[in-house]
Chain A
Amino acid sequence: MASTEIARQAGEGARAVPLSGHVGFDSMPDQLVNKSVNHGFCFNILCVGETGLGKSTLMDTLFNTKFEGEPTQHNQPGVTLKSNTYELQESNVRLKLTIVNTVGFGDQINKEDSYKSIVEFIDAQFEAYLQEELKIKRTLHSYHDTRIHACLYFIAPTGHSLKSLDLVTMKKLDSKVNIIPIIAKSDAISKSELAKFKIKITSELVSNGVQIYQFPTDDESVAEINSTMNSHLPFAVVGSTEEVKMGNKMVKARQYPWGTVQVENENHCDFVKLREMLIRVNMEDLREQTHTRHYELYRRCKLEEMGFKDTDPDSKPFSLQETYEAKRNEFMGELQKKEEEMRQMFVQRVKEKEAELKEAEKELHEKFDRLKKLHQDEKKKLEEKKKGLDDELNTFKQKKTAAELLQSQAQQAGGSATIKRDKERKNNPWLCTE
């Protein structure tokens, strides 16, 4: 019996001891299975493919039921993803099946961004799970897992090769989801063309480095069948929900004038293989791969983006507490720095403005100092003028006084002369005075 992973991990320190009787822990797998069955399972399929390739029909055929949906038109402006969840039950197994359809894929003239909405959707589901996982109080046990477990990529049955849209899209998706490429509507291809087509597709995928999902071959019970199936990839399928009477049975088939294509006939198409592999044998492996490989990759990238590391510069592993504390300190430091920066900026502005205003004040004072000086000059001039006038006035006054003095003197003399004359006149009346 091959040793299990646990046994390998036990390493040194664990000794193997023989049992002397039936203990009963071989019921552990049963206990585990019981719990899972009670809890219910969930599975999410993403169907990517151009409009009209029979995605919805194939889902209906695979799960033997009619899911909702009307066929979409070709006039979608972009690629949107529509998801529907259904509860199915088979014997005692409950399955929450979510089918996500790409609406409008391949319809636009410019298909450069077609893959983007798909990648975003897948990432959004990973993100939701990651957020739930990181919560302080989380309920992972009852969380409805919406991560895409399998992506069925529908290839148009051209018979020649993959379209470049297919290659581009698959390349973008192969690290995010388990891709299972299938050739849709394969009743349009003849058997010989089909073989060539498959070879072409596989070689193109390999040469472009697209990693498609390989059925696991490490478990002996299914290794053989899985490896056989791996060689039949990509599966060429036909879907149909209509039933046609063949012999005495009603079988799912498509009826043509030249014959009837039976969906479940392995000579006609690989539908049965697909159903076997996808649902009956590897469903759990698909879920596991999604969780342990694709989700872990997403998580790792996301955490590294956020700056988390596993080891500090001395290569000692961080404990969670340390990591969070470090993050928190960094965060607080950042906030404080921002505050400081803002304050500094304001201080700077205040300084600048103050300097400006001081300048303006200085200018103003200078201006008025100049004016003041002007005034003073004017005043001085005025004073001088005044002084000049005063001097003149004084001179004039002096002159006047002098002249008046003279006059009065003259008058006195003249007066006496007049009196004398008058006397003489009196005395000499014959003096003619004129």
Chain B
Amino acid sequence: MLSFLKWPDLPSQWLKPIKPTESEEDNQSRAQALRALTYQQKNLEGYVGFANLPNQVYRKSVKRGFEFTLMVVGESGLGKSTLINSLFLTDLYSSEYPGPSHRIKKTVQVEQSKVVVKEGGVHLLLTIVDTPGFGDAVDNSNCWQPVIDHIDSKFEDYLNAESRVNRRLMPDNRVHSCLYFIAPSGHGLKPLDIEFMKRLHEKVNIIPLIAKADTMTPEECQQFKKQIMKEIQEHKIKIYEFPETDDEEEMRLVKKIKDRLPLAVVGSNTIIEVNGKRVRGRQYPWGVAEVENGEHCDFTILRNMLIRTHMQDLKDVTNNVHYENYRSKKLAAVTYNGVDNNKNKGQLTKSPLAQMEEERRDHVTKMKKMEQEMEQVFEMKVKEKLQKLKDSEVELQRRHEQMKKNLEAQHKELEEKRRQHEEEKSGWEAQQRILEQQKLEAFRTLEKNKKKKIF
């Protein structure tokens, strides 16, 4: 007797009815689809078992393993490496593998470190991309360019891998999130901050952080945060937004996070004993700033958000929004040969191949038309020529006829003349003969008389 598979303990959130969270686009397209086809809702009269699907998905995802790429950007000395180490509770950056601030080059470099971490049976391939030299030069114009180039090159790699004829499992090396460190100056965003975020907000999920938050009092921090958010809105910078959920509890959490943006963080590599507990913190003469204390800084919120609840969403937004943006721009450029065809934006639903197909069809029609025109012109010209030929034939014929008639008339005339002449001749000849006769007779008579006379 087969026993049913053991059900793992489903997390409580699974058993609650969860409504779909969709972006605006999804809403629209789904609404469209629904309007076109309404699928039938069927009620199940018994247990079927596809509720086990999530379990199957879980199993497969664990088997496959996960990957995540995190980029950290900020001036040197803002505590980036320390924060990463604190986030992942490991010595990603150590004396052997120094952090970006220890590797300053003359120009901004983009470098990545890959580590594999394991927890609870889940493998995570973590790539940290850092930018030593960012913002450290005297002239920082275009220091964001290497960053943009790096992100684009990862998109390009993915696009090429996706477009190959023979595809294999593609590693996802795209940058899923960018932690941007703002110096705790207390006044507002620096022009470099604004410039960077404006250029990158459509390429990557930007999560702005206030670094070294333990240099500000809570009120100063509050003020600073307000100022930053105001400036972000003013400049229409799109930082990473938490997805909407219909679940009330989740929404409350999300709202709480939203109120505390941008997150002010403190990082530490050292463990200190506080009240008998071993915590990560920074020891000052006046006390210990605990990293994981929610009242001291927003580190916990960041960690929970970045790793425990929204890591998948960051990947999804990168895949569905940022990458698709890059891809459609790239393919549009290829299809339309870089010509800025704003009017073609509506036609971007075609693939480049479909575009070529359509162009080919247009060309065929054009050719047909051309052929028809050429055919027409040809026919016309031929007709003209033939007509001319005919005309000249007719003309020549006419002349020939005329000449013939002429000749005939002349002939007739001649005949007439001859006839007359003949008549005249024969008449004269007859007359001559009569005269001759008369003469002869006269001569005879004369002779006769002569003879008579003699007697």
On A, residues with C-beta under 8 Å from B are 1, 3-7, 9-10, 13-41, 43, 62-68, 84-93, 95-96, 131, 134-142, 144, 219, 221-222, 225, 266, 272-273, 275-276, 279-285, 288, 292, 296, 299-300, 303-304, 306, 308-310, 317, 319-321, 323-325, 327-328, 331, 335, 338-339, 342, 346, 349-350, 353, 357, 360-361, 364, 368, 371-372, 375, 378-379, 382, 385-386, 389, 392-393, 396, 400, 403, 407, 410, 414, 417, 431-434
Of B1, B17, B123, B428, which is in contact with the most chain A CB atoms at under 10 Å from its CB? Answer: B123
Contact of A309 among B165, B167, B396, B418 (CB under 8 A): B165
Interface string of B357-383 (1 = CB under 8 A from A): 001100100010011001000100110
What's the least CB distance linking A373 to chain B, in Å?
A: 11
Is A317 a contact of B65 with CB atoms below 8 Å?
Answer: no
Q: List 24 A-B contacts (CB under 8 A).
A: A7-B123, A19-B89, A20-B89, A23-B87, A29-B66, A31-B313, A32-B312, A38-B19, A88-B42, A90-B47, A90-B49, A91-B14, A92-B18, A131-B351, A142-B29, A219-B63, A275-B48, A292-B169, A327-B353, A328-B337, A375-B404, A389-B418, A414-B442, A432-B449
Interface residues of B (CB under 8 A from A): 1-2, 4-5, 11, 13-22, 25-26, 29-30, 33, 37, 39-54, 56-68, 87-92, 114-125, 156, 159-160, 163-167, 169, 171, 303-304, 307-313, 316, 320, 324, 327-328, 330-332, 334-335, 337, 348-356, 359-360, 363, 367, 370-371, 374, 378, 381-382, 385-386, 389, 392-393, 396, 400, 403-404, 407, 410-411, 414, 417-418, 421, 424-425, 428, 432, 435, 439, 442, 445-446, 448-449, 452-453
A17-B92, A331-B356 provided; 13 other pairs, C-beta below 8 A?
Answer: A6-B64, A14-B116, A27-B307, A28-B312, A31-B313, A63-B48, A84-B40, A88-B42, A92-B16, A134-B353, A324-B352, A361-B392, A403-B432
Minimal beta-carbon separation of A134 from chain B (angstroms): 3
Query: Beyond A136-B328, A389-B414, is A335–B360 a contact (Cβ under 8 Å)?
Result: yes
Q: A25-B308, A335-B363 are in contact. Are A91 and B66 (CB under 8 A)?
A: no
Decide: B56 and A283 in contact? CB cutoff 8 A: yes
Determine the main DSSP class of A at the interface with B. Answer: helix
Nearest chain A CB to B281 CB, angstrom units: 14
Chain B residue contacts of A375, Cβ below 8 A: 400, 403-404, 407
- Contact partners of A93 in chain B: CB under 8 A: 50-51, 53-54
A283 to B43 Cα, complex, angstroms: 20
Smallest beta-carbon distance B447→chain A, Å: 12
Which of A19, A379, A396 interacts with B119 by CB under 8 Å? Answer: A19
Binding site of B, secondary structure by majority: helix, strand, loop or mixed?
helix
The answer on a CB contact under 8 Å between B90 and A91 is: no
Partner of B386, one of A22, A92, A266, A357: A357
Say yes or no: B421 contacts A393, CB within 8 Å. Answer: yes
Cβ-closest 10 pairs across A and B: A4-B65, A6-B65, A26-B120, A134-B351, A284-B56, A31-B312, A14-B114, A64-B46, A280-B49, A24-B308
CA distance A211 to B91 in the complex (A): 50
B51 and A90 within 8 A (CB): yes
Q: How far is the CB of B70 from chain A (nearest CB, A)?
A: 11
B418 to chain A, nearest CB (A): 5
The closest CB in chain B to the CB of A92 belongs to: B17
CB atoms of B26 and A141 under 8 A apart:
yes
Residue of A nearest to B97 (CB): A15
Report the separation of the CA atoms of residues A417 and B450 in the bound assembly, to the nearest whole angstrom. Answer: 13
In the complex where A303-B165, A319-B156, A353-B382 touch, is A65 in contact with B45 (Cβ < 8 A)?
yes
CA distance A63 to B407 in the complex (A): 111
Instruction: Write the nearest CB–CB distance from A74 to chain B, whole angstroms.
Output: 27
Choose one: A35, A131, A296, A372; the contact of B167 (CB below 8 Å): A296
A371 nearest in chain B by CB position:
B400
Name A216's closest neighbour in chain B (CB-CB).
Answer: B60
Decide: B356 and A328 in contact? CB cutoff 8 A.
Answer: yes
Question: Please, how many angstroms separate the alpha-carbon atoms of A73 and B167 in the complex?
Answer: 44
A181 to B: closest C-beta gap in Å = 21
In the complex with contacts A32-B61, A41-B53, A327-B356, A279-B48 CB distance below 8 A = yes
Give Cα A6–Cα B65 distance, bound, in whole angstroms: 5
Residues of A within 8 A of B349 (CB): 135-137
Chain B residues in 8 Å Cβ range of A140:
320
Query: CA–CA, A418 to B1, complex, Å?
Result: 181
Give bound CA distance, A382 to B408, whole Å: 10
Residues in B neighbouring A65, C-beta threshold 8 A: 42-45
Q: Flag if A24 contacts B307 (CB, 8 Å).
A: yes
A368 to chain B, nearest CB (A): 4
Closest A residue by C-beta to B425: A396
- In angstroms, Cα B172 to Cα A10, docked, is 11
Complex interface: chain A residues within 8 A of B46 (CB): 64
Cα–Cα, bound, A279→B55 (Å) = 12
Minimum CB–CB distance for A423 against chain B, Å? 14
B448 near A434: Cβ-Cβ < 8 Å: yes
Q: Which residue of B lies closest to A218 (CB)?
A: B63
Give chain B residues whose Cβ lies under 8 Å from the Cβ of A22. Answer: 89, 119
Residue of B nearest to A90 (CB): B51
Taking A85-B37, A135-B350 as contacts, is the C-beta distance between A319 and B123 under 8 angstroms? no
Whether B90 pairs with A17 at a CB distance below 8 angstroms is: yes
Q: What are the residues of chain A within 8 A of B400 when measuring CB–CB?
A: 368, 371-372, 375
How far in angstroms is the closest Cβ of chain A from B394?
A: 11
In the complex, the answer to whether B66 meets A282 with C-beta atoms within 8 Å is: no
Query: Contact partner of A410 among B53, B68, B411, B439, CB < 8 A?
Result: B439
Minimum CB–CB distance from A279 to chain B (whole Å) comes to: 5
Q: A96-B39, A283-B56, A317-B160 are in contact. Are A24 and B26 (CB under 8 A)?
A: no
Chain A contacts for B418, CB-based, 8 A = 389
In the complex, the answer to whether B165 meets A300 with C-beta atoms within 8 Å is yes
Q: Chain B residue with minimal CB distance to A393? A: B421
For residue A328, which residues in chain B have a CB less than 8 angstroms away from its CB?
334-335, 337, 352, 356
Asked if B367 and A339 sit within 8 Å, CB to CB, the answer is yes
Known: A92-B15, A320-B160. A35 touches B312 (CB 8 A): yes
